[in-house]
Each structure stands twice: as C-alpha cells, then as structure tokens.
Copies of this chain bind each other. A is one copy, B any other.
C-alpha cells in the first residue's frame, strides 16, 4: 500500500465469512478524493474461502480515503487513506475528439488490435506464446472471450470453468476462484506487454457445448457484477458485451438492459461496445462508447466505413474484417496484402481495425481461436501502421471532405493529412488537398512537406521538397508550380502531408 501510482490498481483484502451469497455484491468501498471531492462506490468480490477483495483505481493524484460497507460486520467499517503519485501508466483509454481514443492523461491511443477468442482457455506454452507473438508484432489490443468457445476449429476443451454447478445447472452464485484468478493473471499479462484487454463478456460460440449461453438475464447480471468487481480496476480493460451478439436468439432490449447495467456498475467507466454478426446493434444506445463492427466489405473499398462514423457519431473499430489465412471459408482466406490494404482503407476512413489470422495450426485450430505464434505476413505491416499512427501530430484522422473527396484524404485541416493511394500506386502524384471547413481552410501560401509511405515494404521516404499552395478552388487546393512526386508505381503507397508554415 506504499505510494500508490496513478491509474494503477490497489487491492484491499478482507477476511469475512463464507456465508455471503455471491449473487449480490458482498461489500463496497466508498472511495473519496479530498481535493476534488470525487467519490466512487467500488464493488468488492469473493475470492474463495473467507477472502474478499476490493480493487481501487485512483484516477487523480493526491490524497484519497476509503471506507468499507457491508451487511457482514466482518467486512464493514474498515477504512484507510493513501496518497497517489503520478507513475508511468497513462490510464484507461477513453473516447477523444468524438471519433478517436486517448488515455486518461491525454495520450492518444490508436488501436491496432489482434484476436484470439479462446486464448484464455489454452494451456502453456501456447498461452504465453500468444502474448509474446502479438506484443512482438506490435498489436496493442487483444480481443478474447471469458467463456470458452465451442464449435468448428476448436481443438482444446478446457477443464477450468467459471462457475460450479448446482443440480446440473451453472450456478452463478458459486464462481470458481481459480478460473477468475487465471483471468486476472491473463489481463495483467496483457497490461505488462502494453496490450489493451478487450474482454468479450458473453459470446455466441458456446454451440450447446458448455451451456454458458443459456444463463438467464438475472444470471448474466450476477456474473457481470462479479466480473466488473474483479477486473475494472485494471486501467487497460475494455468491455465488449458479446461477440456476434445476434447469433443468440435474444431480444435487443435484453442487450440494452445488460449494457446499461454494465455502464452503471463499472466505477471506472471503461470503454463499452458490442460486436455483431449479421444484424447491427443500435450503437446510438447511450451505454455504447464506440461501435465494434464485423463487416469486412466496408474496408474493401473507399467511402464505406466512414458512413458508420456518421450514423453513430462515435469511434468505429472494425473488429472483424476477415482474416489472413488459408481456410476455405471466405472470412478466413485473405492474403496479407489485402488485409494490410483494408487496414489502410479503414485508417483514411477515420476508423480502426483489428487483425485475425486463420491459417490452420498443427492442432487443427486457428490462431484467431487459440493463439500461438503468428505466421502471416500482415502483422509486421500492421505494426508499421501503428508506428505511423503513433507518429502523427494529430490525435486522429478524420475524412476532410467526408462524402465528396474523390481522393479520400483524412486528417485535421491545415495541420496534417494522410492519403492512401490503394494497392497499386500511379507513377506520380501532384499536390492537391481538399480545402477543409470554414475556419480551417487551406490558404494560398500554405507550405507543406510530403512523405511517401510504402505500406508493404515499410518505408517512409521524405520527398525532400516543400510544396506551397498556389491555387484554392471551390473544393480543392493545389500547388500548380511544383513538380509531381514520383511514386513507386504499383506499390501500396500512402502519403503523409504535413503543414510546416504559411
């Protein structure tokens, strides 16, 4: 408890009785920040035997006090105080600038995610290899499921399950501490490697194998309260309510209520989304912080993914755009060039995307199911994309002339732009920008530098000349004087255009 760090979890341990029903919160801690009078009510949880825990995550520097409350006298009435100092953690990721993300301390976060649905349920060494592989590739978010996966391409059936059974039925009032302690460690491991944990709370892949998709709404809620109490203090947690929610035959309003409950009970207000199969969820629901979308086709051509931004007015993360791999199903046999291409299209649409790999592994499974080493050629290029994004001067890329720019230039007007020329560049590019919006319009005399980015060969080549706007038309601005920029014809090229004066 000495010198807690800003945003880092602080765990309080209590010894109580084992008789407290775990279908409700056994204790809470009221957490107060002296200077700002900020107050959180943080739920605790049972962790086996007579042990109870509460995990605090202070998001402000300075002096905090806490006091426990419970129906159980052995858990109630404890209190304490601590002083929080700034450390190395940037804090939870939040929505920033409407369509983008930043950590609580303001540091922009650009998700370039990976997927290994059933990772949590694998044994060593696969479990650790997976984290090594995605960290080394440069991914900064991992989508994985709490409940195990059944069905095709699943070759490993876990023995450790989240609940005990009572009369042959999962009993959410009896969570299995070992299961959730393993989940704790999994989330911590991702955090240590700089990877956001995109936790899929429910899933549609049970396929009758485990029966965990047959919980009632009340049982789902009890599990949700337990999960949030355990994990929410980790700064790098994102909540994804369900993967392919519409594969489950449930009315949408059940998801509305469960999502709203998640928003209410998480004292730290982590990012919240829900991921679709064929039917899209109403991402205008207030509990949804960003859209998590499955639809590869919006990244196969320009002018599509940006439409999702408009309709929800929230960040759009294209969490399933098909996979690099070699299986017969069309969702699993993209070549690496195509997947990288689709990431760049997502980027200039002002959106983000996630990777998945579907080469058949030795066990007969897929990386996007069980994890393991990555074999594809896209991860290195996606790590390079992440570096490009992290090197931008702007928090995120927005389509400048969102419906009408034939070049689909994205950025912040008069500051910095990215234009992606597709899988096969022409021989040259002449300086041209969309003019921007009133108050942020490119003007004659504005001076820019241009870098040529080879998205596949992972090079950034400054053109080494300056471009000055000589003509501003109704919708476009041009440098009519400078020579065109020679391009590596046929390569998958993007341009970074940065204003340096004028």
Residues of A whose CB lies within 8 Å of any CB of B are 279-280, 282-284, 295-298, 300-301, 303-304, 307-308, 310-313, 328-330, 403-404, 474-475
Contacts and interface: CB of A to CB of B under 8 A. Distances in A.
Closest 8 pairs between A and B when the two form their complex, measured CB to CB: A297-B403, A282-B284, A280-B310, A311-B311, A307-B307, A280-B311, A284-B284, A295-B403
B303 A475 contact: no
A304 B298 CA distance: 8
A297 B404 contact: yes
A502 to B, nearest CB: 26
A330 B296 contact: no
23 contacts: A279-B310, A280-B310, A280-B311, A280-B313, A282-B284, A283-B311, A284-B284, A295-B310, A295-B403, A296-B404, A297-B403, A297-B404, A298-B403, A300-B303, A301-B301, A301-B303, A304-B307, A307-B307, A307-B308, A308-B311, A311-B312, A330-B404, A330-B475
Contacts of A282: 284
A305 to B, nearest CB: 9
A148 to B, nearest CB: 27
A301 to B, nearest CB: 6
Nearest to A283: B311
B296 A403 contact: yes
A350 to B, nearest CB: 14
A298 B279 CA distance: 20
Determine how many copies of this chain the complex contains. Answer: 2
B279 A313 contact: yes
Contacts of A330: 404, 474-475
Most buried by B among A283, A295, A300, A304: A304
A313 B278 CA distance: 12
Contacts of A313: 279-280
A410 to B, nearest CB: 15
A432 to B, nearest CB: 16
A408 B276 CA distance: 22
A303 B280 CA distance: 16
A295 B308 CA distance: 13
A330 B406 CA distance: 13
A319 B263 CA distance: 37
A402 to B, nearest CB: 8
A75 to B, nearest CB: 42
Contact of A307 (B283, B298, B300): B298
A77 to B, nearest CB: 44
Contacts of A295: 307, 310, 403
B311 A303 contact: no
Contacts of A404: 296-297, 330
Nearest to A403: B297
A439 to B, nearest CB: 15
Nearest to A276: B310
A71 to B, nearest CB: 40
A475 B404 CA distance: 33
Contacts of A283: 311
Contact of A304 (B296, B303, B474): B303
Contacts of A300: 303
A405 to B, nearest CB: 9
Given A279-B313, A284-B282, A313-B279, A297 B304 contact: no
Given A279-B313, A280-B311, A304-B307, 8 more contacts: A280-B310, A284-B284, A295-B307, A300-B303, A303-B304, A304-B304, A308-B311, A329-B474
Nearest to A301: B303
A297 B303 contact: yes
Contacts of A279: 310, 313
A310 B307 CA distance: 11
A280 B314 CA distance: 12
Most buried by B among A307, A308, A311: A311
Given A308-B311, A311-B280, A311-B311, A474 B297 contact: no
Contacts of A280: 310-311, 313
A115 B300 CA distance: 34
Most buried by B among A295, A308, A310: A310
Given A284-B284, A307-B304, A308-B311, A328 B474 contact: yes
